[in-house]
A and B are shown apart, each in its own frame.
Chain A
């Protein structure tokens, strides 16, 4: 029996769709999704994998089929029938990718909004908008000179000042060497990262942690308690806000299980927020090349129950108390880099000699 080609096409189409749908959901390529945000990102990735698998199988299938089916037979030196184009077909294969990418853009936009991508932007546009309202006359006629000098600090400065006035951070932030940017116009120097998700906008986060990246360690300070730690402990279920900056070169804060990454840039403040939900021990990885020991710059990221977290915090407070006094008594500038870094490098197994060499290269 001869099966018409349209039925073959239909059958192949159905098999292709089912295969793509199945693989898109069962690829097993991503690690645990430890936060609500991560689950949203995974949904987007699964969709892209579904479409990608379909396209991949389609194109490779056509290539292999054509290479076998249409190969030149021995002794046949004639040309194939000329087909110069087919306008409806060309419109179709322009339209389909266009629709796919528009759809993916909308979906990505939605996920980005849900995970809080738009929040930091609104945060520091507000002061500028407020100022514009106060300007006399039409905004169009205004020049830069017409702008009255404002004594009000803008959002950049507020954030910068907050971070700078935190006594716990003072010992590890080298603000005298790398000035934190202030009064930046427009988008500002508070590097937008991932902010509060729409449901949490305007709310105070459950836990705020200041993060400092330096060659080759992460330092986490908990401003509410003054605890300084080399591991990031967070309680499950609470929204966490990280305010980050770097001391020397660009680092990038990345926890694969959170699907979150944000560059930590000297001279800038950047912020990310997330709500961890699955208990466990993960890794904070530096994702931006920061020097020879870049590969060793990682530490633990621990999501624990609120009770365990409180317990840990209390232990740290006791332990830090002594250290903090010491830290205040000893100005970081008076110490050599090796001395200064020794508590952090010892943990990573880096020899003080190596550090010394690095510093003097």
Chain B
């Protein structure tokens, strides 16, 4: 009996026989089912991704030639400002929340999130926030001071656009705070009886770290933006130097959130990759605890690195050194993850399907972003490349090569669970190939551009950079084209794709122990852990396997919430077999 069969037979009694049926209208209502909300998140954010992508391609079209010949300078500035804001606040961050919504309750064996209505409220802040933001472009006065919105520039450009930008980001920030509260409480309080924290899948650990980070840092951004709006509309001078304010204070407040934000944007996808790689390598994850605790380490360290964005703003020498060291140290937990993923793949039986290809692509591209990240931490070198295309390249390798590849890996992996149908593998691979090539074509030359002296956020540039910029623009077009096979595949497969069954990948985590798509309350009872989440290839004696069958646990579950049995983790099931009794 394989581990997947053991897990399945242990959970037969709680399996919903009928897959969850939903009408299309459900997705347009204030639904409180976490799975509906998850799909709402994923689809909505993907639409915003496409809008942000169109803006990116307009920016690249402008940069195809050194002259300003496609849009005006003002529109160009608005385009890259909105592109960044949309991609960060309306795509990567909420897409992570979308996955968390779908997966957390299923992975920990809960029926829903801790606060289902709050969950819906968190989602329903996103569409108005996004529409408001994009409407400012239509109104002809969109924010154009960059997504960082540094005063005093943000105070002297158009008031309307800047005001809309502030309100929109405040809405989206509130949404992510509400989401984070929900994830934390769900993860800490609603695990199926018998599941200890060290038996949680790694995605749950990643979301634990992400949510804690969101809760600590996001309010500071809200503070900065509210003060900025006072400067903008009420004539105060918190950051406005004409009244004696200090623009650098804004930068400290802004980056206190916005640096952790990059970890908020990447940690969930570290979690996804930690789920995808073991399933498709048919091997246990290498170093479960190392990966779990490194997420927490990144979360903590992420809070004390913000001033590396300000090495050229004028902060004292010793402070620059402090932030250099903390920033460099983050390479250690991140390195642990990367090597653990490689260790997982090593000696496996790797199924090179679309999900796994995107996971491999994630690791491959993230490593480049990670290496340039360590370089940027070194103060003397950062002084040279700060605010240049080197930084643009670095952040896109991390956030596009990392997060977006992670999102796609997750979609290809969990699509059968979300929809009950399989995606087309051929078109998935075409999608991957186009995206991988386009990504490198678009962003790799930017490293050289930055080092040679091309600053960012400019519509016109020195003619000597023309060739490399042309290559970048072609890469950007390829990236846009790469989305087409995915969109068609996702829609077509949802309607006509072959039925997936409950567990097409023979995975062990609990979300695969219910029907596809899962019924409204996920499971008919409490799921039990007959195996660890990553026990692939374990060949255990039958006697050990039979211990935690569902029916044997029933008395314990029936004993009520105060029963000691309920709270005790099952000693036979731990992520790491060395911890098992």
Residues of chain A whose beta carbon lies under 8 Å from any beta carbon of chain B: 29-31, 40-41, 44-45, 48, 52, 55-56, 59-60, 62-63, 66-67, 70-73, 76, 78-86, 89-90, 93-94, 97-98, 100-102, 104-105, 107-109, 111-112, 115, 117-121, 177-179, 181, 187, 189, 191-194, 248-250, 252, 254, 256-257, 259-263, 265-268, 270, 283, 285-296, 361
Contact = CB atoms under 8 A, between A and B. Distances in A.
Contact of B336 (A78, A94, A287, A293): A94
Interface stretch (B116-124, B384-392, B519-527): B384-392
Interface of B: 2-3, 68, 72-74, 76-77, 144-146, 150, 152-153, 156-158, 241-242, 244-248, 281-290, 312-321, 324-325, 328-329, 331-332, 335-336, 338-340, 342-343, 345-352, 360, 363-364, 367-368, 371-372, 374-375, 378-381, 383-384, 386-388, 447-448, 451-453, 455, 457-462, 534-538, 576-578
Given A80-B536, A249-B156, A104 B328 contact: yes
7 contacts: A71-B351, A93-B336, A101-B332, A109-B324, A263-B313, A266-B241, A295-B68
A62 B145 CA distance: 43
B332 A287 contact: no
Contact of B452 (A30, A98, A121): A30
Given A41-B384, A248-B156, A265-B314, A76 B349 contact: yes
Given A45-B375, A94-B336, A178-B241, A59 B367 contact: yes
B342 A63 contact: yes
Contacts of B534: 84
Contact of A94 (B332, B364, B386): B332
Given A79-B3, A84-B288, A120 B317 contact: yes
B447 to A, nearest CB: 7
For B312, B338, B345, B360, the residue with the greatest tally of chain A CB atoms inside 10 Å of its CB is B312
Given A191-B315, A287-B386, 20 more contacts: A41-B381, A71-B351, A81-B283, A81-B347, A84-B578, A85-B287, A101-B374, A104-B328, A105-B325, A107-B378, A117-B380, A120-B316, A192-B315, A266-B242, A266-B247, A285-B455, A292-B72, A294-B458, A295-B455, A295-B457
Given A63-B360, A112-B380, A250-B153, A79 B282 contact: yes
Contact of B345 (A70, A189, A193): A70
A289 B332 contact: no
Given A109-B321, A249-B153, A267-B244, A283 B453 contact: yes
Contacts of B348: 66, 70, 80
In order of increasing CB-CB distance, the 5 nearest A-B pairs are A191-B314, A295-B458, A256-B453, A267-B241, A79-B537
A295 B461 contact: yes
Nearest to A28: B448
B364 to A, nearest CB: 6
A71 B455 CA distance: 43
A191 B325 contact: no
